[in-house]
Amino acid sequence: MSLNDSKGTLARAAKDLFARWNDLQTIWSDAQSQEFEKTYLLPIEQDVRSALGAMDNMTQVMQVIENDCE
């Protein structure tokens, strides 16, 4: 699996997770759900954004390496 494929897989999984969370909030919207979101989902969202950014940087580095090897 290429880096771009992995990035796409991660982005789709995160999108699916947060779409399902939005659906769930229509029936679960109390203090516990807010705590769950704060404790688990917000850090996941931040980590995914960081990982996607790092993957973008790695893609650029790999392209430079490939060009240098030609």
Q: Of 13, 4, 7, 1, which is closest to residue 51 (Cα–Cα)?
A: 7
Q: Of 9, 36, 11, which is closest to residue 25 (Cα–Cα)?
A: 36
Q: 3-24: per-residue pLDDT in tens?
A: 899 999 999 999 999 999 999 9
Residue 20 confidence (pLDDT): 98
Q: 35-65: per-residue pLDDT in tens?
A: 999 999 999 999 999 999 999 999 999 999 9
Tell me which long-range contacts 37-43 makes (C-beta under 8 A, separation of at least 24): 41/17
**Residue 70 binned pLDDT confidence (cut-offs 50, 70, 90):** confident
Total domains in the chain come to 1
- Give the residue numbers spanning the domain of 12: 3-69
Q: What is the pTM of this model?
A: 0.84
